[in-house]
Chains A and B, each alone.
Chain A
Amino acid sequence: MGRSYALVYLDTVKGPSKIMRSTLRRGTALAILPTLGMLVLAGCGGDSGSGASPSTTPSNVPTATPTDLPTTPTVTPTGPKTNTPSNTADPSGEQADVTINVTVANGKVNPSGTSIKVQAGQTVLITAISDEADQLHIHGYDKELELQPGKTAQVKFTANMKGTFEIETHESGKLVAKLVVS
């Protein structure tokens, strides 16, 4: 059933103003709380994405190789980020246990449908670059990356839920990778 909900129209979603109007009209605290919750949830993804500086030129796209953390699980998610060799691939200097570089070009995604293993509790950094406007969505964790042509976008989160989670582009509806958190 996983893929069944993957292809969701963003275009058909009703505008925010309409929702806010009806929410305010009701005016109850009960009504605002879920809206706030959604803002918070959706906001996590968007903020870190827009904050990333495009330090690489579009032509110099980082090769998309999902770098798994090597065998030693000494890096605890809460502890200080001791340097691991795989972390250096990231252009903006952000550090994470697992780094995934995504490229979207000519309607093809890279990686395409690969499984990426992550230990529960590790931090995951996803860096994405696309040649056209799109969204990258990490299902289950509900992280959303706005992709603008030629701009690098990033999101970082802790994999604290076990399972298989799809990373997918919205506009083109392609499966980039599966995050296998165990």
Chain B
Amino acid sequence: MTALLLPLHGIGGRQDLPVPFGLAVGGAAVAIALSFVVLGLAWRNPKYKGDSSGKPLPAAITRTVDAGWFRWLVRLIGLAIFLYAMVALLFGVDRLTNPIFGFIYILVWVGLVPISLLLGPVWRTLNPLRTIHLLLCKLLRQPPSRGVLELPSWLGLWPAALGIFAFTWLELVAPDRATLPVLQAYLALYVVITMFGAILFGDKWFSTADPFEVYATLMARLSPWGRRTDGSLVLRRPLENLDGLKAQPGLVGMVAALLGSTAYDGFSNSSAWIGWAQNTDYSMTLLGTGALITFVVFVLVTYSAATVLAGRMSDSSRTKLPGLFAHSVIPIAFGYVVAHYLTLLILEGQRTLIYLSDPLSNGANVFGTGLLAVNTGITNHSTTIAVLQVLAVVSGHLMGVVSAHDRAVALFPRNKALLGQIPLLVVMVGYTIGGLVLLFST
């Protein structure tokens, strides 16, 4: 009977094999070569027109997406999924067969990336807390945008950047992070801060402070779907979509938190780090916290320094430049995310869907998935996985370099545009080689 006491470790039990050395070096070489091709041969006049571009979708689609009933349908789907997960969080048992762990760490945190990529900025509407806030406002006959206080404009996305840091700390560093009390405490904090802020500042708070919504909104900029300045839904090239992202305070912080934490995830799995850290006299929590902060601050400082330097070299305004180029780091972060979490999402996503049928671990089979087994077929295609990982990092790099190039020729004086790109290009090559080293060494 003691066998029943053992938790089934599914989640995170397996990591990908290290990428073969040749593939990592090849990827790095291609990334560097492509960078200089873009720098030397690409267009000299800005090509992307951001939010004013795009081919309108058929009117029927726009009408449906904008229809009140459709919005409510999506909102209620989001709310229903959230409430179902809350049952597992509040009443489930504290072991890994509880689907809440996979729900938060895999389906929400990793899954919001492909959802946003496929469907565009849908998270805003799915966001259950936004829906609860909206319902409350309806009940009180208040417009949801109204708050008690005005949000200061310098705040921008900084609260969300802090939220990303907090969540990644929970996911990667916190002791006992895969136990119910810890997850309950985190979610209670998240719900209270988000809802309290929304009451104080109105529903603008969600797009400024809800880390999941802000993250999803950024990733949706890599989707082909967008809304044109005239209000119509359009199909446009992802990089054009990305170009439409407005510079705002905290965007650099957001990007640094995303890229830095993903890099830390790879680093913290390396044998060298664990082998050293677990035999020191300091706690792993302390060391992990320090390392996570170091990674995020490293990205923040190197990126900002490169853009400020670019401003100096091209005689442009320096203080605004970090924000104006921040969009170009998003594809790099996306490449990292794909490389690190693709197989995790496929394998553990399946496992979570199986566990979701039995939220209270009492043998229920709500969706009929409870008796299925995880298909581990992809684990045998290790070469394909490695190629996909390297391809993701290199493509992310290429998209970043192209976006930055277009922004540079738009912002910098013509004769200084090439020179001005060099600092950021060097930093981006650094991020990409760093990403490949992490894939190779873990």
Residues of A at under 8 Å CB distance from B? 1-10, 12-16, 19-20, 22-23, 26, 28, 30-35, 38-39, 41-43, 46, 108-109, 112-115, 120, 137, 139-140, 142, 144, 161-166, 173-175, 178, 180-182
Contact = CB atoms under 8 A, between A and B. Distances in A.
Nearest to B373: A37
Interface stretch (B21-29, B53-61, B129-137, B376-384): B376-384
Contact of B179 (A8, A112, A115, A166): A8
Interface stretch (B73-81, B194-202, B241-249, B359-367): B359-367
A144 B180 CA distance: 22
B364 A5 contact: no
A173 B179 CA distance: 14
Contact of B371 (A14, A34, A38): A34
Given A13-B5, A38-B8, A28 B363 contact: yes
Contacts of B370: 30, 34
Question: Which 10 interchain pairs have the tightest Cβ spacing?
Answer: A31-B363, A113-B275, A139-B13, A16-B4, A140-B13, A140-B14, A5-B12, A42-B3, A164-B15, A5-B178
B176 interface: yes
A35 B179 contact: no
Nearest to B272: A113
A34 to B, nearest CB: 6
Contacts of A140: 9, 13-14
Contacts of A14: 93-95
Given A15-B5, A174-B278, A3 B13 contact: no
19 contacts: A1-B171, A1-B344, A2-B13, A2-B15, A3-B172, A5-B96, A10-B6, A13-B93, A16-B2, A30-B365, A31-B362, A33-B371, A42-B3, A42-B6, A43-B3, A112-B278, A115-B271, A161-B380, A163-B382
B14 A163 contact: yes
A138 B299 CA distance: 34
A7 B105 contact: no
Contacts of A175: 271, 274-275, 278
A9 B176 contact: yes
A178 B271 contact: yes
A71 to B, nearest CB: 18
Contacts of B268: 3
Interface string B91-127: 0011111000100010000000000000000000000
Given A9-B176, A161-B376, A142 B9 contact: yes
Nearest to B365: A30
Given A8-B96, A9-B179, A164-B18, A1 B265 contact: yes
Nearest to B12: A5
Contacts of B292: none
Nearest to B382: A162
Most buried by A among B13, B275, B340, B361: B13
Contacts of A23: 362-363
A164 B17 CA distance: 5
Given A13-B95, A162-B17, A162-B382, A2 B9 contact: no
Given A163-B15, A165-B13, A7 B363 contact: no
Contacts of A115: 271
B259 to A, nearest CB: 16
A32 B364 CA distance: 10
Contacts of A4: 11-12, 105, 171-172, 177-178
Residue of B9, B265, B278 ringed by the most chain A CB atoms within 10 A: B9
Interface in B284-330: 284
B279 interface: yes
Contacts of B14: 2, 139-140, 161, 163-165
A164 B105 CA distance: 20
Contact of A182 (B8, B17, B178): B17
B175 interface: yes
B199 to A, nearest CB: 32
Contacts of B12: 1-6, 139
B5 A16 contact: yes
A42 B275 CA distance: 28
Contact of A32 (B284, B344, B363): B363
A164 B323 CA distance: 39
Contact of B8 (A12, A41, A163): A41
B344 A35 contact: no
Contacts of B7: 8, 10, 13
B358 interface: yes
A35 B436 CA distance: 42
A15 B95 CA distance: 11
